[in-house]
Amino acid sequence: MSKLLIIGTVAFDAIETPFGKTDKILGGAGTYIGLSASNFKNVDTGLVSIVGNDFPQEHFDLLEKKGINTEGIEVVKDGKTFFWSGKYHTNMNKRDTLVTELNVLEHFNPVVPEKYKNAEIVMLGNLHPLVQNEGLEQLHQKPKMVVLDTMNFWMDIALEDLKMLLKKVDVITINDEEAQQLSGEHSLVKAAKIIHQMGPKYVVIKKGEHGALLFHEGKIFSAPALPLEEVFDPTGAGDTFAGGFTGYLAQQNDLSFDTVKNAVIWGSNLASFTVEKFGVERIAEVTEAEVLERLENFKDLTKFSL
């Protein structure tokens, strides 16, 4: 059984969209990634994170029930869990951050459990590049694939650390604006070329409702997003994508371009569920039958017979 190591935040979120608002609910990149990856059988998933003593047992129970090993989630006895609050505008493409309380995240030193130090696939969720690197450095051997997610914030304040880390990763997943910022190029084709030169041999550019582009050795794969009647809450869509992407890769034996293409489709498939309800509600309850049915929708969506 392949091992998938996830390093990422476990958090409380409070979300406001045109459809309503939530109290403090379960959130965090690591949470979405883990729940999404839990849809793949025969993958041993370990999550490395940090929470405070305000983090309820029921959330641990949910993760464990989904087969996610939580041994690597440090509980800080006198600390509070990372809290983020945001509000989405009408068109859902823009959001304002209302509150960011780093709390225990401010002093997060990831400790990878011994069992996951030989993980085949490593997913580095959005964190300071030096924290991501600290996790990566603890591994006993080079994983088959290291996937990095990051954001514009780290490009603004820790670009050199990010560039150092990029040399060690196989895949980067970022959105279109971030790809443009990181590369200094508007054209995504040119941007991907420059990012390849920074290290990652696979560049995944996420375009939200417009799908995702995968770049590898001069080849391009374009995956659609499933057109939805309503996006209820986009929070965690990118992380759910990353969980589907790495969960699928962990389940496969070969890591060819064709396999990575399929991983992009699986990431897109699972992300399409997350946005249907607030927070992790939908991805935590989705059934195998539902994800397989939607996979057929993805095939129908792009298939043509020329």
Binding residue (CB under 8 A) for a copy of itself from 172, 242, 265, 284: 265
Q: Which is nearer to a copy of itself, 42 or 91 (CB)?
A: 91
From CA 83, how far away is CA 98, in angstroms rounded? 11
Binding residue (CB under 8 A) for a copy of itself from 213, 237, 252, 289: 213
Query: Burial level of 103, CB count in 10 A (0-12/13-18/19+)?
Result: buried
Which among 9-17, 27-35, 97-105, 294-302 is the span making contact with a copy of itself, rule CB under 8 A? 294-302
- Residue 240 sits at φ, ψ, to 5 deg, of -65, -40
Residue 288 binds a copy of itself, judged by CB under 8 A: no
Shortest distance in whole angstroms from residue 184 CB to a copy of itself:
13
Shortest distance in whole angstroms from residue 33 CB to a copy of itself:
21
Residue 221 binds a copy of itself, judged by CB under 8 A: yes
Using DSSP, state whether 142 is helix, strand or coil.
coil
Q: 45 has which bridge partners? A: 4, 68
- Residue 109 sits at φ, ψ, to 5 deg, of -115, 95
Residue 258 binds a copy of itself, judged by CB under 8 A: yes
Residue 224 binds a copy of itself, judged by CB under 8 A: yes
Tell me if 272 sits within 8 A of 294, measured CB to CB: yes
Residue 19 binds a copy of itself, judged by CB under 8 A: no
Shortest distance in whole angstroms from residue 100 CB to a copy of itself:
28
Residue 190 binds a copy of itself, judged by CB under 8 A: yes
Which among 21-29, 128-136, 145-153, 219-227 is the span making contact with a copy of itself, rule CB under 8 A? 219-227
Residue 197 binds a copy of itself, judged by CB under 8 A: no
Q: Which distant-in-sequence residues (6+ apart) come within 8 Å of 74 by Cβ? A: 49, 50, 51, 104, 108, 111
Length of the chain: 306
Residue 242 to residues 8, 16, 206, 249, 277, Cα–Cα distance (Å): 11, 23, 10, 11, 18
Query: Burial level of 213, CB count in 10 A (0-12/13-18/19+)?
Result: buried
Shortest distance in whole angstroms from residue 292 CB to a copy of itself:
10
Residue 276 binds a copy of itself, judged by CB under 8 A: no
For residue 279 the two structure tokens come to 């927070």
Counting residues that bind a copy of itself (by CB under 8 A) gives 36
Binding residue (CB under 8 A) for a copy of itself from 42, 57, 91, 287: 91
Helix axes 257-274, 237-251, angle to 10 degrees: 140
Q: Which is nearer to a copy of itself, 113 or 224 (CB)?
A: 224
Residue 270 binds a copy of itself, judged by CB under 8 A: no
Q: Which distant-in-sequence residues (6+ apart) come within 8 Å of 29 by Cβ? A: 8, 9, 125, 126, 127, 149, 236, 239, 242
Binding residue (CB under 8 A) for a copy of itself from 207, 255, 281, 294: 207
Most distant CA pair in the chain: distance in Å? 63
Binding residue (CB under 8 A) for a copy of itself from 262, 278, 282, 291: 262
- Which DSSP string do the residues of 163-184 spell out, in sequence order? HHHHTT-SEEEEEHHHHHHHHS
Residue 1 binds a copy of itself, judged by CB under 8 A: no
Binding residue (CB under 8 A) for a copy of itself from 7, 188, 237, 291: 188
Binding site for a copy of itself (CB under 8 A): 90-91, 186-190, 207, 210-211, 213, 219-224, 227-231, 258, 261-262, 265-266, 295, 298-302, 304-306
